[in-house]
Amino acid sequence: MLLNKRLIEESNTNNLAAHKRSYEYVATGINNIGAIIQKLVDFQVAIPSWALGTGGTRFGRFSGGGEPGNLEQKIEDIGLLHALNQSSGAISLHIPWDIPSDAAETRKLAAMHDIKFDAVNSNTFQDQANQPLSYKFGSLQHVDKAVRKQAIEHNIEVIKQGEALGSKALTVWLADGSCFPGQLNFRKAWQNTFEGLQEIYAALPADWKIFVEYKAYEPNFYSTTVGDWGQSYLYTSKLGPQAFTLVDLGHHLPNANIEQIVSLLMMEDKLAGFHFNDSKYGDDDLTVGSINPYQLFLIFNELVEGMDAKRMDHATDLAWMIDASHNVKDPLEDLLQSIEAIMIAYAQALMVDTPALKAAQEINDVVKAQEILQAAYRTDVRPLVAEARMISGGALQPLQVFRSLKIREQLIKERGQSTVATGL
Ligand SMILES: [Mn+2]
């Protein structure tokens, strides 16, 4: 379904007076307010094609109705999100869950919704129907060369699919590792994986990047062959200048200092970008900002500081993607909340008084440094984010519009109660 722009405008008119009051209150006193709003307007986050259906756990899955049944409907769903918030102008495809039958038609549909194709994701963590060899004991790390070859060929195929759509990056997340001591020779597993990545790297078009994502544990519980940012960095630094390390917020051991990891990867020009989500215990894939919004702010603070130090374009030089999937919320409502949380953290980071923070650091004024960070974090920047949305043509209150227009009910009417999206 397509959202009627007039309905968004009507809802904005109803909310305008209240918005203006709160906007003036926050905006007064911010010197560079125009520049901040423009940065918020420009910032876009890619929606993964697997997040549009209700996520599953290994215990079950409870579909909510009206889920997109094919790639076209997934693009339509992202079109709805983007119409509401004007910050979801990209899709990250997962192959083979979402293989376009006609790339030119798929591109046309996406362009109609003002959606670009972000990184494409390969999958060697599951066996697909008709797949000759199994990934039960890994893919690129596998002891059998034929399995490694199959995994390499799949990644090269994903690059080709991505090229046809206009993507510019391949994300590789490997489930490879071991569940028990003695199962693997760590060095051999690393070498095999590296050689496979080298072959994939060699197949990259000149203007493409490869993102190597790491994860501490799960599905393997004793060792993971790309287990942390150090191991990913080892691969990407040896691969070459088109290889970067991808940070997924849920892929760390408890209490890892992710903001420091981000800062150092940027220093070395090796940060690919993000898979945003939130978690309490592990790779929980919960709504961004739902558990620890302060950590998200601290990460954005390092990102903004690091990107500015390197004169990078905030909107385009790193890859911004959501990677979340869970059981209990309407996936579209969840994604609206996730994008809002990202925009809030970004806006707060833009408000940090950087010169004052640097000065405080130089004289070891720890109290002042904390005051500066928390002054930004404790500012209610929601009116700034809403203002950026409104001037881009989106809704002041996207979630409210989603509910008042009964979008999910319409999707159920259109697609049925029992559709199930491809994905986990
Ligand atoms: Mn991820």
Rounded (10°) angle between helices 331-350 and 33-42: 150
CA 305 / ligand 1 centre spacing (Å): 24
**pLDDT for residue 423:** 66
pTM here?
0.97
Cβ-contact 245, 233 below 8 angstroms:
yes
**Residue 133 and residue 151: Cα distance in Å, rounded?**
10
CA 48 / ligand 1 centre spacing (Å): 10
The partner residues of 209 in beta bridges, in order of sequence, read: 169
Q: Which ranges of 113-228 does DSSP label H, i.e. alpha helix? A: 145-165, 186-202
Distances (CA, A) of 122 to 101, 172, 175, 418: 17, 6, 11, 27
- The tens digit of pLDDT for each residue in 111-125 reads 999 999 999 999 999
CA 214 / ligand 1 centre spacing (Å): 8
Whole-number average pLDDT of the chain: 96
CA 277 / ligand 1 centre spacing (Å): 9
The two structure tokens encoding residue 275: 């898979």
- The tens digit of pLDDT for each residue in 134-181 reads 999 999 999 999 999 999 999 999 999 999 999 999 999 999 999 999
CA 338 / ligand 1 centre spacing (Å): 15
**pLDDT for residue 418:** 81
- The tens digit of pLDDT for each residue in 291-324 reads 999 999 999 999 999 999 999 999 999 999 999 9
**Residue 291 and residue 24: Cα distance in Å, rounded?**
29
CA 124 / ligand 1 centre spacing (Å): 14
**Residue 26 and residue 356: Cα distance in Å, rounded?**
20
CA 317 / ligand 1 centre spacing (Å): 19
**pLDDT for residue 421:** 75
SS3 92: strand
Q: Which ranges of 203-330 does DSSP label H, i.e. alpha helix? A: 229-239, 258-267, 293-309
SS3 257: coil
**pLDDT for residue 57:** 74
Q: Can you give 379-407 as a three-state secondary structure string?
A: CCCHHHHHHHHHHCCCCCCHHHHHHHCCH
CA 315 / ligand 1 centre spacing (Å): 20
In the chain, pLDDT over 90 holds for what percent of residues? 92
Cβ-contact 272, 319 below 8 angstroms:
yes
CA 391 / ligand 1 centre spacing (Å): 31
**Residue 155 and residue 243: Cα distance in Å, rounded?**
14
Distances (CA, A) of 164 to 91, 98, 140, 329: 14, 14, 25, 33
CA 285 / ligand 1 centre spacing (Å): 9
How many Å from the N-terminal Cα to the C-terminal Cα in the chain?
A: 24
CA 323 / ligand 1 centre spacing (Å): 5
